[in-house]
Amino acid sequence: MSNKSLNNKFLDSGFGYSTIQRPFSFQKIAPIIQSLNQHAGLAVLDLGCGPGVHADYFTTHNYTGVDLNPAYIESARKNKSGEFIVGDVCNSDSILAERRFDIIISNSIFHHLSDEQVVATLKACQKLLTEAGTFHLVDLYLTERSPSLSNFLARIDRGTYARTFDNLHSIVAPYFSDFTSSTFRLSFAGVKLWNMAYIRGTMGKLHS
Ligand SMILES: C[S@@+](CC[C@H](N)C(=O)[O-])C[C@H]1O[C@@H](n2cnc3c(N)ncnc32)[C@H](O)[C@@H]1O
């Protein structure tokens, strides 16, 4: 087995992913937490929730996580509080049927999705988000500056659809009625690693 597939096998387990993510989990959720109105009991949907790495920040909310990887969901059900569902986020409107959410989070998943899958996911979310609800997107992005450590890390990621900030913006913009965006860096031991985008908004009318 190659080093890459051994590495992916470890990351595909709930334990492996949670361990690797430990130094970054708070950094990745911080912009979302800071922007939220912390009303307990709001319905939160976490798309591509992994083994529930962010679930602990929403224990006073009504939290639901969806992920394609059954091992992650099994780990989340054992170790976290909330509801965890195995499923494809592109079909989250049919998985979650008539349910509505005040907050939808998409953290570090869009670089795992093709443009078509991103669009299907956003369309599903337009149905699932309440009128006053907010969508929170965090994802890595590629910079023009190459070579860079951030670009290198994005290129060797398991997700094969890393995009530039402008590209990410242009794909998601039609599905928001109003949004703001910012950038930040994930770091470890003082070393700056991934470039991250944070896009927060309300969602527009349904697109056909
Ligand atoms: C980099 S991990 C992010 C996990 C977590 N959100 C975080 O911020 O650490 C990407 C996650 O997206 C999930 N994923 C990829 N494609 C998916 C899809 N089509 N539907 C549901 N989950 C998917 C993977 O299984 C993985 O858990």
75-84 pLDDT, tens digit per residue, is 999 999 999 9
The answer to whether position 171 is within a domain reads yes
In a mutational test of the pocket of ligand 1, which residue from 24, 109, 122 has the highest number of ligand atoms less than 8 Å from its CB? 109
Give ∠ CA 60-61-67 in degrees, rounded to 5: 125
> What percent of the chain shows pLDDT beyond 90?
72
Q: 113 C-alpha vs ligand 1 centroid, how far in Å?
A: 9
Q: Look at residue 113 and tell me if it is in a domain.
A: yes
Tell whether 208 is covered by a domain.
no
Q: Give the per-residue pLDDT at 208.
A: 46
What's the total number of domains in the chain? 1
**Residue 128, pLDDT score:** 96
For residue 187 the two structure tokens come to 């770091």
The mean pLDDT of 58-66, rounded to a whole number, is 96
Does ligand 1 come within 6 angstroms of the Cβ of 89?
yes
Q: Is residue 77 assigned to a domain?
A: yes
153 within ligand 1 shell (Cβ under 6 A):
no
- Evaluate: CB of 68 within 6 angstroms of ligand 1: yes
153, part of any domain: yes
Q: Which domain holds residue 68?
A: 3-203
Q: Domain of 83: which CATH number?
A: 3.40.50.150
* 128 in Cβ contact with 101 (< 8 Å): yes
Contacts of 113 (CB under 8 A, 6+ apart): 89, 90, 121, 159, 161
> Is there a domain that residue 138 lies in?
yes
Residue 16 CA, ligand 1 centroid: distance in Å: 14
Q: Judge whether 45 lies within some domain.
A: yes
